[in-house]
Amino acid sequence: MRALPIIILFVVATIQKSHSQTSDYSGIEKTVSYYLEGGTNNNFETLKKAFHENATMKFIRNGEYKEVKVIPYFKKAMRPGPKQDRITKISRIDISGNVANAKIELIYGAKTYVDYMNLIKIDGIWKIVGKIYSKK
């Protein structure tokens, strides 16, 4: 009979943790969707919602390591225009407390880009703080 309260506490804690992870997963999907929708629709204001103001992007271009601030980079690079012809997919989300990583695939015909987004939950809102990417 003494084991029953312990079992009940365990079940309640498991349910709460599961609910919290589901909520975090949804929050991360929402943040990443701002990035994907903004990029697909060439809408900088939507894309900007995904990133922390100090987010960085790191990549290799022409054999050289590059590191830029995300928001100024996209503000300069994005131009209004027709919707991008691409397929986007969130391949994986890994959550550990208030940090997470999301793997995203962006398919443009024969070219596929893979983005790894590092996110932090700040004041209850998930924001991308770092992006690295590669072309397959």
Domain count, the chain: 1
pTM of the model: 0.82
Q: In what order do the strands lie in the sheet with 64-69?
A: 64-69, 51-61, 125-135, 111-122, 99-108, 87-96
Residue-wise pLDDT tens digits, 56-106: 999 999 999 999 999 999 999 998 889 999 999 999 999 999 999 999 999
**Residue (of 58, 78, 54) closest to 66 by Cα position:** 58
Find the domain containing 47 and state its range: 3-135
Yes or no: say if 56 and 68 are a contact pair by the CB < 8 Å rule. yes
The pLDDT tens digits for 26-60 are 999 999 999 999 999 999 999 999 999 999 999 99
Among candidates 27, 30, 32, 34, which has minimal Cα distance to 104?
32
Which CATH number belongs to the domain containing residue 45 in this structure?
A: 3.10.450.50
pLDDT of residue 20: 56
